Structure 1
Amino acid sequence: MKIERIHHVAYRCIDAKTTVEWYRKHLNMEFVLAIAEDKVPSTHAPDPYMHLFMDAGNGNILAFFELPNSPAMGRDENTPDWVQHIAFKVDSVATLEATKARLQAEGIEVIGVTDHTIFKSIYFFDPNGHRVELAADVGTPEMYQKLDECKWQMLEEWSQTKRAPKHAAWMHDKEFNAAH
């Protein structure tokens, strides 16, 4: 078996309508499908829900569930806010910067532009508290090759030591970034 692509990624939302409107307004995603049931199809549990699907481009779908009978949404208290997020690719750094300005003008707090050497990103939260990243690729073929060549060594070293391997430290090294 080979995975063809992600069919959809699903998150919980506080309010389905607010979520659809926010993603349409701020990320230009179209609302493509809504499914609502009184029972969960896979488990048959009685739990009414609204399941909505947003077009994230190129066949990628971002989905949400509103669950009015479940306890209020929360976060895993043991996982930092920056860890769980969804990242969307944009076409250029110019688009990234323009989107940052537009989001800030709408009162949305934005972190970045953060330089990751092979891409630049901005980060912000949707109305449900989910962290969203927009990323614009800026790496060279040589950079990607260098990262590809050390990935297995890095994984093995991490597996043994649980300390950050330094094979790709150049990605966030200010001196490297200033020279390139």
Structure 2
Amino acid sequence: MIKARGVHHIAFSTADMKKQVEFFSDVLGMPLVAIFPMHGVPGGIHCFLEGSAECLISFVQLPEIADIAIEYGKTHAGSGSLPSAPGTLQHLALVVDTDDELLALRDRIRSRGVNVLGPMDHGMCRSMYFAGPEGLSLEIATSDEPVDPKHWLDPEAAAEVGITPAMMERMAKPDAFDRPAEPVAQPPYDPAKPHMLYPKPVYEQLLAMSDQQLWDATRFSDPPVK
């Protein structure tokens, strides 16, 4: 079945890329694999650190970010048990393969002077919690086996957020999708749907472009270092 099968990368805003890269590299052992001017964004710098070949952590530094204040309860949660604004990242959980690796990484983090709480047993995983630079709420987790929906789809919890049993069954088994012979056309603009934030004329122009036109206009395939 065609589906999104995981996270390629997750990107955080930063006012201090050097500090973030130092933390994720030295404290968490993730190698820096890319840093370059952000494609199509004047003044932006983009970097990537590798958890695995298919899992990257990214930071974006733009000149304006330094002027935006961190506000706990709005821009940041501060921990895995506290709120932040809708649509913001409440916490990030990274993964290791075994309990031994979890404990080894706990000791590595603590050896760098960073406090760690855990591990804690959540049944579906064992986790530990700590903070990163600029207010990041971080977790490391490990599991013995995939999450079993039979045991972890709680109808009472679902009902609290407005999900009925019928809806939960549908969400647990999304409809299959067979790619048609011809590409699906860009749908008409619908204000009720989610949209990216662009100046209105720019967004209208982007939506009016064909997929090939957009591909040709936004190619940045050459690496910065040759």
TM-score, normalised by the number of residues in structure 2: 0.57
Q: 1:96-154: per-residue Cα shift (whole Å, max 9, x none)?
A: 11221221121101111111122111111112221111001146x7x825325x34x24
Pair 77,134 (structure 1): closer, same or farther in 2 beyond 3 Å? same
1:16: how far off? Answer: 1.4
Unaligned runs of 5+ in 1: 162-180
Q: Tell me whether 1:158 sits opposite 2:154 in the alignment.
A: no
How much does 1:75 deviate?
A: 3.6
Give the 5 Å matches for 1:93-104.
Answer: 93-104=99-110
In the alignment, the residues of structure 2 paired with residue 159 and residue 95 of structure 1 have an alpha-carbon distance, to the nearest angstrom, of 35
Q: Quick one: distance in 1 between partners of 2:111 and 2:72?
A: 30
CA distance in 2, matches of 1:2, 1:146: 21
In structure 2, C-alpha distance between the alignment counterparts of 1:58 and 1:154, rounded to whole Å: 38
What 5-or-longer segments of structure 2 have no aligned partner?
A: 81-89, 164-226
Question: Equivalent of 1:128, from 126, 134, 153?
Answer: 134
Query: Higher strand share goes to which structure?
Result: 1
**Residue 92 of structure 1 aligns to which amino acid in structure 2?**
T
Return the alpha-carbon distance in structure 1 between the equivalents of residues 77 and 132 of structure 2: 16
Which structure has the bigger radius of gyration?
Answer: 2
CA-based RMSD of the aligned residues comes to 2.7
Cα distance in 2 for partners of 1:62, 1:94 equals 23
The percentage of aligned residue pairs carrying the same residue is 25
- Between the aligned partners of 1:138 and 1:95, the Cα distance in structure 2 is 13
- Map Cα deviations across residues 34-93 of structure 1 (whole Å, 9 max, x no partner): 2225xx73xx6xx62211111121411111012233314414524642241111110111
Aligned partner letter, 2:148: Y
Matches of 1:16 and 1:132, distance apart in 2: 17
- Which amino acid is the alignment partner of residue 113 of structure 2? G
1:93–1:66 CA distance, 2 compared to 1 (3 A): same
Q: 1:76 to 1:157 in 2, by over 3 A?
A: same
2:77·2:137 contact (CA, 8 Å) conserved in 1? no
Q: Aligned pairs, how many? A: 151
Residues 11-90 of structure 1: pairs in structure 2 closer than 5 A: 11-37=12-38, 41=40, 48-70=43-65, 71-78=67-74, 80-83=77-80, 84-90=90-96
Report the Cα distance in structure 2 between the residues aligned to 1:75 and 1:66, rounded to whole angstroms: 18
Moved more, 77-86 or 27-36: 77-86
Q: CA deviation at 1:21?
A: 2.1
